[in-house]
Structure 1
Amino acid sequence: MEKLTGLKKIKTAVFISGVGSNLKNIIKFSKLKKSPISIDLVVSNTNLAKGLKYADQFKIKKKIFNSKNFIETEKIILILLRKEKIKFICLAGFMKILSKGFIKKFDGKIINIHPSLLPKYKGLNTHSRAIKNKDIFAGCTVHYVTEKLDSGKVVMQKKIKIAASDNSISLSKKILKQEHKLYPAAIMKIFN
Structure 2
Amino acid sequence: MKKLTGNINIGVFISGRGSNLKELIRYSKKNNTNWKIKLVISNKKEAKGLIYAKKNKIQNYAIEKKKPEFEKKSLSILKKNKINLLCLAGFMRILSNEFIKKCKFKIINIHPSLLPKYKGLNTHERAIKAGDKYAGSTVHYVTAKLDSGKKILQTKVKIFKADNPNTLAKRVLKAEHQIYPKAVDIVCKKII
Q: Shared topology, TM-score over 0.5? A: yes
Contact conserved, 1:123 with 1:149, CA < 8 A, in 2?
yes
- Counterpart in 1 of 2:108? 111
How far apart are residue 106 of structure 1 and its match? 2.5
CA gap of 1:39–1:7, structure 2 versus 1, over 3 A, is closer
- Counterpart in 1 of 2:38? 40
1:41-190 equivalent positions in 2, closer than 5 A: 41-67=39-65, 69-106=66-103, 109-190=106-187
How far apart are residue 107 of structure 1 and its match? 5.5
Q: Partners of 1:191 and 1:52 in 2: how far apart?
A: 24
How far apart are residue 85 of structure 1 and its match? 1.1
Deviations 1:56-95 (A, max 9, x none): 110111011101x211221111111111111110000001
Which letter does structure 2 place at the counterpart of 1:105?
Answer: K
**Identity within the alignment, %:** 54
CA gap of 1:47–1:136, structure 2 versus 1, over 3 A, is same
Q: Unaligned regions of 5+ residues in structure 2, if any?
A: none
How far apart are residue 108 of structure 1 and its match? 5.8
Q: Partners of 1:102 and 1:158 in 2: how far apart?
A: 29
Across the two proteins, how many residue pairs are aligned to each other? 187
Q: Partners of 2:50 and 2:38 in 1: how far apart?
A: 13
Contact conserved, 1:127 with 1:168, CA < 8 A, in 2?
yes
Which letter does structure 2 place at the counterpart of 1:20?
Answer: G
